[in-house]
Amino acid sequence: MFDVQRRFNDRFNYPYVFLSDEPFSEGFMQGVRYMAGPNNSVEFGLIDSGEWVYPEWINPHRAEKVADDWANSNKMYADRVEWRHMVRYWSGPFADHSLLQKYQYMWRLEPGSHYTCDFEYDPFVHIQRNHLSYGFAISLEEMPDAVPSLLTAARAFVLENPVLVSARENSLGWLFGPEFNRCQFLTNFEIVDLNFVRSAKYRALFAFLDQRGGIYYERWTDATVRSLAAAMFLRPDQVHWFEDVGYVHDLLNNCPQAMRCYCDPSESSHTLPMSCSSRWNSTSASLDPNSI
C-alpha cells in the first residue's frame, strides 16, 4: 500500500477496500487510514463465513491430504487449507461482496507485493477508454501437476455449454494453440472490470470448475479460473499486458525499460522461457472452441 500510495494514489485519490475472513484490529485500521491520507477513503469488510469453508461437495479429508502433500513436496508454495478457501473466494465470489457493489473496476493489491516504477498515467482510465476487461503484469505457465485435469474440464465445459463460448470472440489461441500450454495471468496484480466476473458466462464457468473440485483436489487457483475465463470469453483486444508497470511479487517481477523505475529489466519475468506475457501479443487469437 505504501508503494501504491507513493507512486500512484497520492495524485489520483482512489478509495481502498480491505476484505478479510477475520475482524481487523483497531490498530491495523488506524495505520491503514493514516497511510491512505485524508483524501482517500478506506473501507473494511468481513467476508461471509459461508464463503470461507469447504463447499458441501468437497471431501475435507481428501482436500487436507492434497494440501499437506503439496506443502511437503513444494516448500516454496503456500498450501494450507485456508489458502485453498482464499483462492476459491477470489475465483468468483469476491465480486458479490457488498462493499464492491458500487464499483465497476478493481485493482487488486496483494500483501507482500512491491511497485518499482512511478505511474505516469491512470491505468483505470486506460482500461475504460480502451474498453478493456482485464489487465495483468505477469503471466507464466502453471506447473503440470497443479492442473492435470484442467484441459479435460475445459473441454467438458465447452461440450456442455456450446452457446457460451463464441467461435469468433475468444482468445483460446493463446492458451490452446497449438496445444494446451497451461498459461495463466498471475492475479496478485490485476485490474479487472467486475462486470466480466459478474457476467453469466463467468459465473457459469466458475460454478462448473468449482463443482469439479480442482481447487481442493489439485491446485487450481483464482489465476487458473480467471485465465481460462479470459481465454474463453474475451477477445484479445479486451485484455492488456501492463508491461510498463514495475511490479514485484515473491521472486517474480515485471520491470520495464523506463527512467523512473528501480528494478533491473534484464531480470524481468517476461524474459523467462515459461513466460506467457509476450505470447499474449503474438499468439492470442480466436479459436474454434470445439478444437481444444
| Residues labelled as active-site residues | 190
Name the helix (H) or strand (E) containing 192: strand 190-193
Q: Is 199 helix (H, G, I), strand (E, B) or coil?
A: coil
Cis peptide before 178 (omega within 30 of 0): yes
Nearest to 171 by CA among 282, 289, 286: 286
* Dihedral sign, Cα of residue 192, residue 43, residue 113, residue 36: positive
Contact 57, 212 (CB under 8 A): no
Contact 172, 287 (CB under 8 A): yes
Name the helix (H) or strand (E) containing 233: helix 222-233
